[in-house]
Structure 1
Amino acid sequence: MFVPFLIMLREGLEAALIVSLIASYLKRTQRGQWLGVMWTGVFLAAALCLGLGIFINETTGEFPQKEQELFEGVVAVIAVLILTYMVFWMRKVARNVKGELEQAVDKALKRGGNQSWALILMVFFAVAREGLESVFFLLAAFGQDLGVWPPLGAMLGLATAVVLGFLLYWGGIRLNLGAFFRWTSLFILLVAAGLAAGAIRAFHEAGLWNRFQEVAFDLSQVLSTHSLFGTLLESVFGYQEAPTVSEVAVWLIYLLPALAIFFMPTRVVAQPSGSAN
């Protein structure tokens, strides 16, 4: 439940910040009449992501066992790629996202007779990116943790993000967003490493990967997945008490370079002197 909650909180807050920045810019530049058009793009993006998630979930639930394992492995790989992109994209553009969004709004509203559609599409793609990232992660999370708790956690995370987004827009609260995204990014890299190991396990169960299946180590007597803490680690980070050599190798091959890049100092991109603030 916690991982879907955190992912949806982060993704939802990113989307809420995008919408908040666009709405604030429209009001600040005396173009508040375009707020309704902006919300059209938001709702269309939300409808697309919700519809895609339901469609994939409904059409793959009756796969035979091996095909189901293959599907779960492919979805886990996609989720790992998306989560990794999400972390490093936010790390790269965090300082400039406000100016980039304002430039995109200006560009959309400078078009001729199709200003409404230009703004709708601009908002749609900005919000849909966050939503589609969430869809593939949730598909991977729901495949590994059945029951009502993962969907409930996802809904609570999204609801919390929406509330925080409105409070940020109205100025009711102030958050240290830099610290929030930095620590959640680190957490997400650990989650993604667990998903990568789970993907190689799913490919083995689907019959596609049968090498290095020896048990790397056995911690069942120290930290069993039947214990409370072991169950928590399994649901959050994909912990296995007796992982195979291939699972440990994939976990390390993903996580070590990702952490090395994550902790490298970011280079500040110089802004042109006349750029918008």
Structure 2
Amino acid sequence: MLATFLIGLREGLEAALVVGILVAYLKRLDRKDVLPRLWTGVGAAILLALVIGAVLTFGAYALTFQGQEIIGGTLSLVTVGMVTWMIFWMRKAGRTMKATLQGGVDRALEAGTVWALVLVGFVSVAREGVETTLLLWSMVQSFGDAPSAILGAALGLAVAVLAGWLLARGAVRLDLSRFFTWTGGFLVVIAAGVLAYALSDLQEAGVVPGPFTAAAPLDAAGSVLVGWAGLPFGWAFDVTAVIRPDSALAVLLQATVGFMPRMSWLQVIAWVLYIAIVGTLFVRGLRRTTPRATPSTSVPASSGTPVTTESAATRAASTVSPSPEGAS
């Protein structure tokens, strides 16, 4: 529930900020008359995410066990790719997001068609919605029948909508840069766990060699080898005697760091490589984008009273304005 809550909160807040920027810009242009078109696009994006989730959930029942594992593993790999791209895209595009969104609105208004603005709202939210749906679906699949995971995601999305509304109203302040940095790091770990689970699905389906296939190394009793003797297609470790797979501790560890009581060597290797490569790139990106604090300077105002100004880098490091325009 905690993991899916944080995912719903982060992804929902991104979407809420995008919608807030669009709504605030239209109001500033005194074009409240076209707001229904924007909300139509936003509603269509939300509906698309719900439909995808329903198709993935109920469509799986018509598949064989092997088919379910192949579909689940493949979609989990797609999810890992989308989340990884989104983590780095958000950092790069965050500085120009407001200008990009406003430019899209300007072009839609110039076109003068209803569908142009509907499309702006749809595209702006659909990416977040589809990504959230795939990520939550992959995590719920890994937990099995876990209504608490769905509840956590719903609560996260609800809190995100409330937070976005309060930010737009100026009722709260939130350091969005720090928020997305911490949640981005959390998503790196989550994605590594989803990757490990995707390989587990594909190994059970026999698509990838592992403990469930003929490539598994066996001992004299016919059991799959564990530890160094099981490298590369056996079990890396098996602590199910200490941590039951259905225990609360096992679920918590899997939801937060991707740990399962029994993991194959390919799962462990994939998890370690993902953390090492993506985690390193993420941390390096933080170091490159950390603004250097520069001394404030005083310039005379028109009234003769000194006014303190800050450099752009210092302002970027400060707490983000509660308004949607500043939130970008």
Q: Same fold by TM (over 0.5)?
A: yes
Distance 2:187 2:69 in 1: 23
Matches within 5 A, 1:163-242: 163-211=162-210, 212-219=232-239, 225=245, 228-242=248-262
Distance 1:252 1:149 in 2: 28
How big is the shift at 1:227?
5.8
Q: Which residue does 1:253 correspond to in 2? A: 273
Q: Which residue does 1:148 correspond to in 2? A: 147
Q: Which residue does 1:272 correspond to in 2? A: none
How big is the shift at 1:92?
0.9
2:189–2:256 CA contact under 8 A, matched in 1: no
Please list every run of 5 or more consecutive structure 1 residues that lacks an aligned counterpart in the other structure.
269-275
RMSD: 2.2
One-letter amino acid of the counterpart of residue 92, structure 2: K
One-letter amino acid of the counterpart of residue 237, structure 2: F
Q: Which residue does 1:5 correspond to in 2? A: 5
Q: Tell me the secondary structure at the aligned position of residue 237 of structure 2.
A: coil
Q: Which residue does 2:127 correspond to in 1? A: 129
2:189–2:258 CA contact under 8 A, matched in 1: no
Bigger radius of gyration: 2
2:190–2:257 CA contact under 8 A, matched in 1: yes
Distance 2:68 2:83 in 1: 22
Distance 1:228 1:165 in 2: 32
2:8–2:157 CA contact under 8 A, matched in 1: yes
1:225–1:234 CA contact under 8 A, matched in 2: no
Q: Relative to structure 1, is the Cα distance of residues 44 and 228 closer, same or farther in structure 2, using a 3 angstrom cutoff?
A: closer
With a CA cutoff of 8 Å and minimum separation of 6, indicate the structure with the bigger relative contact order.
1
How big is the shift at 1:29?
2.1
Normalising by structure 2, report the TM-score. 0.77
Distance 2:279 2:44 in 1: 36
Question: Which stretch of structure 1 is more off in the superposition, 178-187 or 256-265?
Answer: 256-265
Q: Which residue does 1:273 correspond to in 2? A: none
1:16–1:161 CA contact under 8 A, matched in 2: yes
Q: Tell me the secondary structure at the aligned position of residue 173 of structure 1.
A: coil
Distance 1:151 1:61 in 2: 19
How big is the shift at 1:226?
6.1
Cα deviations by residue, 1:22-54 (Å, 9 ceiling, x for unpaired): 111111122222222211111111111112211
Matches within 5 A, 1:60-79: 60-79=60-79
Distance 1:36 1:65 in 2: 45
Q: Which residue does 1:271 correspond to in 2? A: none
Distance 2:109 2:9 in 1: 31
Q: Which residue does 1:160 correspond to in 2? A: 159
Identity %: 37
Cα deviations by residue, 1:65-109 (Å, 9 ceiling, x for unpaired): 111111111121111111111111111111211111111111111
Normalising by structure 1, report the TM-score. 0.90
Flag the structure with higher strand content: 2
Cα deviations by residue, 1:192-232 (Å, 9 ceiling, x for unpaired): 00111111111110011125222223455776656644431
Q: Which residue does 1:90 correspond to in 2? A: 90
Q: Tell me the secondary structure at the aligned position of residue 217 of structure 1.
A: strand
Q: Relative to structure 1, is the Cα distance of residues 51 and 231 closer, same or farther in structure 2, using a 3 angstrom cutoff?
A: closer
One-letter amino acid of the counterpart of residue 195, structure 1: V
How big is the shift at 1:242?
3.3
How big is the shift at 1:253?
1.9
Distance 1:120 1:239 in 2: 42
Please list every run of 5 or more consecutive structure 2 residues that lacks an aligned counterpart in the other structure.
211-231, 291-324
One-letter amino acid of the counterpart of residue 39, structure 1: W
